[in-house]
Structure 1
Amino acid sequence: MSTLKITTFQAYLFWENIDKNLQNLGLRLSSIREKTDLIVLPEMFSTGFSMNPEKFAEEMNGRSMKWMLEQAKKFDAVVTGSIIIRENKKYYNRLIWMRADGSFEYYDKRHLFGLGEEDQHYTAGTRKLFVELNGWKICPMICYDLRFPVWLRNVNEEYDILLIVANWPERRSLHWRTLIPARAIENQAFVVAVNRIGHDGNEIYHSGDSMCIDPLGKVVYYKPNDEDLYTFSINKEDLTHARTSFPFLKDADTFKLNENNRF
C-alpha cells in the first residue's frame, strides 16, 4: 500500500496515575472517526517520565498492555507508545508495538537519560526493532535515542519511517526541533515524532512540538503547545522520489556495531 495513515496523540499526561491516563487517553481516542493504520502515543504514556518504576512498573500482561490491545482492536490499527515494564527483576522503558490480532513486538530504550537519572532506575536495551506495516518498514525509538545518529543510522534502507515517542522538555525544544529534520534528511526517511505536553510531577514543562518531517526535510505536520489528536497520510511515492533523485545513502560510510553497540 503506497499510503499510510497515521494518528498522533500529543497528550497531556497525569503524573504517575495509570488509571487516569488510560481512562483519559481512551476517551480522547474515541473521537477518531476516520480509518487509521497507526496510533502513536508518547513515551511512558501511562505514567509520565517517572523514576519510580518499583511503584508503577507492570508485567507484560498488565493493564496497560491489555488497554493497548483493546484500542488496537477497536480501531483495527497498530497502537504504539512506551510504558514501564518489570521483567526478571529489572525495569525497562519499553515501547510496545501492539497489533489488533494481539501479537506485538517491543523495543527497550537503548540510551537512558543520565541527566534525569534514568540510567539509575532502568536497564538499557541492546537491540533495534524493525517492524512492517502495510508495506512500510518502520524503526521505533524512544526520546533520548534521538541524539545518537549512529544508533539511528538507516543502513541499506532498513527503514522508511523513523518513529520517536518522547517526554522531551520545552527547555531543550530547540534541540528537538533541530534534530528531527536532521535525522529525516540524513537517513532519507520520514520521521514521525510524538511528544507530550504540560507540566510533569517535577514541574518540568513539555511544549509538545510533535511533528512529521519528510525525507527532504519538509514539514508534513507540526504542533506546539496544545494537546492534539491528529490524523495525516504519508505517501510511498514521496519517499521513492527522494531516494532516487538524491541517492545519498549509497555513499554513506559503512560501519558495524559490535555486541556492546560500540565501534
Structure 2
Amino acid sequence: MSNHRQERSGMTKEMEGLVALVTGGASGIGAATADRLADLGAHVAVLDLAPESASKRHLAVRCDVSDDASVRAAVQTVVEHFGRLDVVVNNAGVGAQGTVEDNDDDEWHRVFDINVIGMVRVSRAALPHLRKSPAAAIVNTCSIAATVGLPARVLYGASKGAVLSMTMAMAADHLREGIRVNCVKPGTADTPWIGRLLEKAEDPQAERTALEARQPHGRLVQPDEVAAAVAYLASPAAGSTTGTALEVDGGMQALRLRPAG
C-alpha cells in the first residue's frame, strides 16, 4: 500500500514547476481547476473579477476579460511574479437564457465579448510567453451546448460554438510553435450559475430533477470532474493531444439510452 501511494504521489507532480493561469478561477469549474493544477505541482494564478474570493493558495489577480488593457496587465503580473507562463485555461464566461427572440443586440454583443473575445484577449496576451515554454498548452472551456441543441440556450450555445471553432483553428495555427490547444465540453454542471437559475425557478427541485435527467448518467456534472479533464489536457502527459474537444457530459453528446425501467 505504501509503495502504491508513493507511485501515485510521483504521478501527481507531472506539472511540477510549470506556471498556469486560470481565468474565472475564483469559483465553480475555474476554482476546481486551479486547485487541481496546483495539486499536480503547478504554480497557479487566478484571474478573476473577484480575486478576493480565490483560494489563498494561488496568486489572485483582478482581471476583466472584456477589457484588453486589464487582460494585458494581468498576464504581465503573472509573468513578473513567476518568471514564466506555460498553461492558459480560458474559463471565464457568462451564461445566457432565451430563444432567438429573447435577447437584444446589446446582450448578444456582451455575451460574445466575454465568452469568445475574452478568450481571444487572454490568448493573444499570453502567446509571446507560451512560445518560450517547453510545455505550452491552452485549454478553453466550451460546452455541450456547442454541439447539442438545448432549449432556450441559443445565445449561450452560439458563443460556445464559436469557442469550439476557435479552439480547432488555434490548434492548427500554433501546433508548430509547440503550443497545444484543446477544449472541454461540460454538460450541465453543478456551478453557482446553475444554482442561481434553480433559485429563480417556480419549482427548483423539479427543475433540478429535469436537468439531471437530461444527462444519461442521471446527475449534474461536478466541477472536479471537469477540472480533471482540463488538467489532463493541460499536462505534458497529453503531449500528443491537440485540436481535441473532450466531453465531460455523462454521455449527453453520444449516448441514446432507452428510458429507465
Is the structural similarity TM-score above 0.5? no
* Greater fraction strand: 1
- When Rg is computed on C-alpha atoms for both structures, the one with the higher figure is 2
**Normalising by the residue count of structure 2, what TM-score does the alignment of the two structures yield?**
0.37
